[in-house]
Structure 1
Amino acid sequence: MPEVKIRKKLLITEEIFHEGGPVAATPRKRGAIIAVIENPFAGRYVQDIAGFMDDLTPLGVALAGELLQALGGDAKSIDGYGKGAIVGAAGELEHGALWHVPGGYAMREILGDAKAIVPSTKKVGGPGTRLDVPVTHVNASYVRSHFDAMEVGVPDGPKADEIALVLVMSSGPRVHARVGGLAAAEIKGEDGLR
């Protein structure tokens, strides 16, 4: 498989104090890291692409570590995550799917004992394309207070022969979460769902 060639990385962090209601006692933190890489399969159909996931694994671990540090460095404070990919126009959706394993397992490794599947999205688009990356609780996908998404994008990417690979982490529920459902304190931690 070809080596991973990174053109640029972007790191976005935010603190959410309120959403029109009372100011939260503890602001919610969210962050995303994006690596824009060369798509080695752009412009042609390649049958056997799965091996590139192994090549992406070190990048996934490095990006997860950088994002965790940007959010304070405490893995126990991170309770939400998601991932995504934007494939440039000379690629195909399946090239974005190569990020599922290296991106998801990297965050699980960095965060320790995360049980829930890492939600994901992907699309094909040109420079400036925006992506809503879904976020759920790291240990139980059914925790409603953590259902969220973070919008990300790269102003000058991905170019036609690139892929933008995204990881998102968050700490805390939505600032004004109040629609019921399974609470984080009620997680059983048996199956990644509840």
Structure 2
Amino acid sequence: MVEPRKTVFTRELITADSFGEPCEPVSRVAVSAVFRNPLAGRFEPDLSALFEIGALLGQQLAQQAVAMLDGPAVSYGKAAIVGAAGDMEHGGAVIHPRLGAPMRAAAHGGLAVIPSNVKLGGIGDSIDMPLGHKDDPWSFDHFDTMTLCVPDAPRADEIAMFIGYATRGRPIPRCGSGPAKQ
């Protein structure tokens, strides 16, 4: 099991839109885990060590994130920032092959693909983690973003992994329901 150097919890409670209009409260939580990239500095065709890290950290962190919400998880997302000595594929290997199952288990479902984002970055860089409805990929009301960072990560030989959940979509959504409901 990889031991994160740092775990960061971000919890937001949104009670008004950007114009100050009151809304149904939206609870959003993200958990960030920063760990050493075992493949930093070299090309490796077999990324399975990173698949395992994503699965193990996902099991550990998803339950903690959902427990911090003010209600059931309705939407979710994931992201990773890979330090400069790594490769974008390293981030993809952490968040794609095996992270989804523990995230879906924590959310008690999840028929939709988990929206994601990966990039190379340096210390203090932020990433926009997309959120989408866990069961309805066409729910426009749930297309959302959390901008996240860990101020002292990722170092060149690290990966910062992010998972997130929300109890609702955007505050006061007005873009329509999407083709599945029209």
Task: Give per-residue Cα distances to partners, 1:50-96, cap 9 Å, x unaligned.
Answer: 24312431210111011011114x5xx21110000000000000000
The residue number in structure 2 matching 1:67 is 65
Structure 2 CA distance for partners of 1:183 and 1:61, relative to 1, 3 Å: farther
Give the unaligned 5+ runs of structure 1.
Answer: 187-193
The residue number in structure 1 matching 2:26 is 28
Contact 2:83–2:121, Cα closer than 8 Å, also in 1: yes
Q: Does 1:94 align with 2:89?
A: yes
Q: Which moved more, 1:169-178 or 1:81-90?
A: 169-178
Which whole-Å CA distance do the structure 2 matches of 1:42 and 1:48 have between them?
13
The residue number in structure 1 matching 2:124 is 128
2:173 aligned residue (146, 158, 177): 177
Q: Which moved more, 1:14-23 or 1:160-169?
A: 14-23
The residue number in structure 1 matching 2:141 is 145
SS at match of 2:11: strand
Which whole-Å CA distance do the structure 1 matches of 2:57 and 2:91 have between them?
15
Which whole-Å CA distance do the structure 2 matches of 1:182 and 1:172 have between them?
16
SS at match of 1:102: coil
Structure 2 CA distance for partners of 1:55 and 1:154, relative to 1, 3 Å: closer
Kindly report the root-mean-square deviation, in angstroms, between the aligned alpha carbons of the 2 structures.
1.8
Structure 2 CA distance for partners of 1:94 and 1:105, relative to 1, 3 Å: same
Which whole-Å CA distance do the structure 1 matches of 2:30 and 2:6 have between them?
14
Contact 2:76–2:164, Cα closer than 8 Å, also in 1: yes
Which whole-Å CA distance do the structure 2 matches of 1:44 and 1:96 have between them?
14
Which whole-Å CA distance do the structure 2 matches of 1:141 and 1:164 have between them?
26
TM superposition shift of 1:16: 0.7
Aligned AA (2:75)? G
SS at match of 2:5: strand
Using the aligned pairs only, state the percent identity. 37
Which whole-Å CA distance do the structure 2 matches of 1:101 and 1:45 have between them?
19
Over 4 Å off, 4+ runs: none
Q: Which moved more, 1:122-131 or 1:49-58?
A: 49-58
The residue number in structure 1 matching 2:56 is 58
Structure 2 CA distance for partners of 1:54 and 1:79, relative to 1, 3 Å: same
Contact 2:74–2:167, Cα closer than 8 Å, also in 1: yes
TM superposition shift of 1:21: 4.5
Q: Structure 1 length normalisation: TM-score?
A: 0.87
Structure 2 CA distance for partners of 1:183 and 1:22, relative to 1, 3 Å: farther
Q: Does 1:157 align with 2:156?
A: no
SS at match of 2:22: coil
Which whole-Å CA distance do the structure 1 matches of 2:142 and 2:48 have between them?
31
Which whole-Å CA distance do the structure 2 matches of 1:18 and 1:85 have between them?
29
Aligned AA (2:163)? L
